[in-house]
Structure 1
């Protein structure tokens, strides 16, 4: 009996030889095997036993990233010789604590919220209070990365000049207004759309020339301008 190419292909399609035999997972304790079982129709494109020949590695990686926002990267490869699916991941770093009124979250520097965080105080970890939204879902990005980077840049400036702060608060998301309450009680108000190192330098110059205990606030919300008011 002669078997054509189509028959050979069909046999490979159904063969237990092509069924995934094992998984090798690096970088996490998450057991992805159960996810492959649940998502088989989406990542293998078939409803038959998991056939490694039909594994959509890019699709599988995308689905895992969506399901596990705590992962910064996911790479899926297939080893046809060993009939093994290899998954390598890296976790997001706990860089920032982002606090909405009802819950605080861990966030990395890309701006992705990925798990609950404790309500902490101190300057070791940057905490940003957000009064514009009650709560967030894991995987959300409350602020665009460029705007988040401008807050972190101001934190770098404060640290470099030994200026402590009590709080950092996003007051208005649409207008990108942020208020930093300095340790001495003065506020620094700035707009994430117009702030710049030039404004930060002007702020530092004024801060070095005045008695900070006498300052009510610094206003950096106007592009290329800085204003301040003394306490009455």
Structure 2
């Protein structure tokens, strides 16, 4: 058996280990270079080559809000810089439609729904659906707002525009004129809709200054129909209809008809 030189064997093993380390380092460095090249290429493609930049903006459905204002909001959104220099919102893939919709909805309550469609590679399509006014709610001392079937307030209509809409005068003192009383809203709406079904027309309603539960609607004859939230409003309208039918053959011109007690009708 030949003798083995331990020093030469150890040197061979060390050279082999160093070779493996060099190959690993070279491969890892190559991977990092490839990753950096790929990341840079993607970043250039997305943010500098303008392959997916927003070029066309189509707006549909606006009636009371100006198109130019919406366009300005979109432009301001796209000008926001990330990391100090990247305008990511200019890229249609990164454009934050939900944030824009939330901002516009908060600023313009008349906008009921906002749908944003991204049409690759360069077009944004924004579809608006505006609320339809159900009436006008006027707070004391005279600030009026449109309201819809959900009780949402917006705009500042003049009182004269109420001849086509139900106008509600809320004469109670209140510091909050941005939200309507939902209980009175539901009660007045129920009364107005039920009266309309029974061919009793109303164009005006009110909540007295000292009211807790009472409200009234003004019939075409000019007299008030007084209701209470704690009563069966639909049932009282049926009672009213029977009462008016009984008075149809006489010259009946009351100042008011009181319907605040279930099953009863009082008038003056």
TM range, smaller chain: 0.7 to 0.9
Give the total of aligned pairs: 223
**Does the CA contact (< 8 Å) of 1:178 and 1:189 recur in 2?**
yes
Q: Deviations over 1:103-146 (max 9, x none)?
A: 22222222222212121387642111111356876xx44133x7
**Using a 3 Å threshold, how does the CA distance of structure 1 residues 3 and 174 change in structure 2: closer, same or farther?**
farther
Shift of 1:173: 10
SS in 2 for 1:86: strand
**Does the CA contact (< 8 Å) of 1:75 and 1:88 recur in 2?**
yes
Residue 201 of structure 1 corresponds to which residue in structure 2?
238
In structure 2, C-alpha distance between the alignment counterparts of 1:122 and 1:162, rounded to whole Å: 20
**Using a 3 Å threshold, how does the CA distance of structure 1 residues 74 and 194 change in structure 2: closer, same or farther?**
farther
Do structure 1's residue 130 and structure 2's residue 170 form an aligned pair?
yes
Do structure 1's residue 19 and structure 2's residue 53 form an aligned pair?
yes
In structure 1, C-alpha distance between the alignment counterparts of 2:161 and 2:94, rounded to whole Å: 51
Q: Deviations over 1:63-102 (max 9, x none)?
A: 2211222222111121232x22211102222331222232
SS in 2 for 1:11: helix
Do structure 1's residue 155 and structure 2's residue 188 form an aligned pair?
no
**Does the CA contact (< 8 Å) of 1:216 and 1:228 recur in 2?**
no
In structure 2, C-alpha distance between the alignment counterparts of 1:112 and 1:94, rounded to whole Å: 9
Runs of 5+ unmatched residues, structure 1: none
**Using a 3 Å threshold, how does the CA distance of structure 1 residues 76 and 176 change in structure 2: closer, same or farther?**
farther
Residue 116 of structure 1 corresponds to which residue in structure 2?
156
Residue 19 of structure 2 corresponds to which residue in structure 1?
none
Residue 228 of structure 1 corresponds to which residue in structure 2?
265
Q: Cα RMSD between the aligned structures?
A: 3.5
Runs of 5+ unmatched residues, structure 2: 1-29
In structure 2, C-alpha distance between the alignment counterparts of 1:165 and 1:188, rounded to whole Å: 10
**Does the CA contact (< 8 Å) of 2:137 and 2:168 recur in 1?**
yes
| Match runs of 1:174-213 below 5 Å | 175-184=212-221, 186-192=223-229, 194-210=231-247, 212-213=252-253
Shift of 1:155: 2.0
Residue 97 of structure 1 corresponds to which residue in structure 2?
136
SS in 1 for 2:160: coil
**Using a 3 Å threshold, how does the CA distance of structure 1 residues 196 and 134 change in structure 2: closer, same or farther?**
closer
Shift of 1:55: 1.5
Residue 84 of structure 1 corresponds to which residue in structure 2?
123
In our comparison, the structure showing a higher alpha carbon Rg is 2
Give the structure with the higher percent strand: 1
**Using a 3 Å threshold, how does the CA distance of structure 1 residues 118 and 215 change in structure 2: closer, same or farther?**
closer
**Does the CA contact (< 8 Å) of 1:184 and 1:213 recur in 2?**
yes
SS in 2 for 1:208: helix
TM-score (norm 2): 0.67
Shift of 1:25: 0.9
Give the structure with the higher percent helix: 2
In structure 1, C-alpha distance between the alignment counterparts of 2:60 and 2:172, rounded to whole Å: 38
SS in 2 for 1:99: strand
